[in-house]
Amino acid sequence: MVDIRAAPAVSSTSSPGVVVSFIEWSPVFAGAVLAAALSFVLLAFGTAIGLSATSPWPNTGLSAKVLASIAIFFVMAQQIGSFLVGGYIAGRMRTRWREASQDEAEFRDGLHGALVWAVGVLIGAMLVTSAVAGVAGKIGQAASQTAAAVTAKSDPVDAVTDVMLRPTSATATQPAAGTTSPAAGRAPTAAGNDETRAEISRILAAGVASGSISSESRTYLAQVVAQRAGISQEEAQKRVDAAVTAAREAADKARRAAVLTGFVTAAGLILSFGAAWWAAVRGGNHRDTSVPARFDFDRRRRLPAS
Residue 296's pLDDT band (boundaries 50, 70, 90)?
A: low
In this prediction, residue 131 carries a pLDDT of 54
Calculate the CA dihedral of residues 286, 7, 13, 106 and round it to 10 degrees. 0
Higher pLDDT, 17 or 67: 67
Q: How far apart are CA 208 and CA 248, in angstroms?
A: 6
Q: Which residues of 188-218 are buried (b: 16+ CB within 10 A; e: fewer)?
A: eeeeeeeebbeebbebbeebbeeeebeeebb
Could you tell me which residue, 249 or 21, shows the higher pLDDT? 249
- Output DSSP code: residue 305: P
Number of residues in the chain: 306
CB 57 within 8 A of CB 119: no
By the 10 Å C-beta count (0-12 exposed, 13-18 middle, 19+ buried), 3 is classed as exposed
Task: Tell me the average pLDDT of the chain.
Answer: 74
Q: Which of 258, 251, 54 is nearest to 155 (CA)?
A: 251
* Distance from C-alpha of 181 to C-alpha of 168, rounded to nearest angstrom: 18
304 band by pLDDT with thresholds 50, 70 and 90: low
By the 10 Å C-beta count (0-12 exposed, 13-18 middle, 19+ buried), 110 is classed as buried
- Identify the band that residue 281 occupies on the pLDDT scale cut at 50, 70 and 90: very high
Continuous H helices in 142-213: 145-153, 156-165, 190-210
Identify the CA nearest to 76 among candidates 46, 53, 49. 46
CA-angle at 130, arms to 125 and 131, nearest 5°: 100
Mean pLDDT of 239-256: 84
User: 250, exposed or middle or buried, with CB in 10 Å at 0-12, 13-18, 19+?
Assistant: middle
Residue 295 is given by DSSP the state S
Residues 40 and 284: their CA atoms lie apart, in Å, by: 26
Is 236:226 a contact under the CB 8 Å cutoff?
yes
- State residue 72's pLDDT score: 86
Asked if residue 206 has pLDDT above 60, the reply is yes
Q: Which residue has the higher pLDDT, 146 or 40?
A: 40
Summarize the confidence of residues 175-185 as an average pLDDT. 46
More confident residue, 190 or 149: 190
pLDDT at 31: 92
What is the spatial distance between Cα 165 and Cα 247, in angstroms, rounded to a whole number?
Answer: 14
Read off φ and ψ for residue 179, nearest 5 degrees. Answer: -115, 155
pLDDT for 168 equals 65
More confident residue, 55 or 272: 272
pLDDT at 86: 93
The alpha carbons of the chain give a radius of gyration, in whole angstroms, of 31
- Mean pLDDT, range 135-141, rounded to an integer: 44
Average pLDDT over residues 184-199: 60
Q: What is the average per-residue pLDDT within 187-201? A: 66
Model pLDDT, residue 48: 82
Distances (CA, A) of 90 to 96, 108, 111, 118, 306: 12, 11, 10, 13, 36
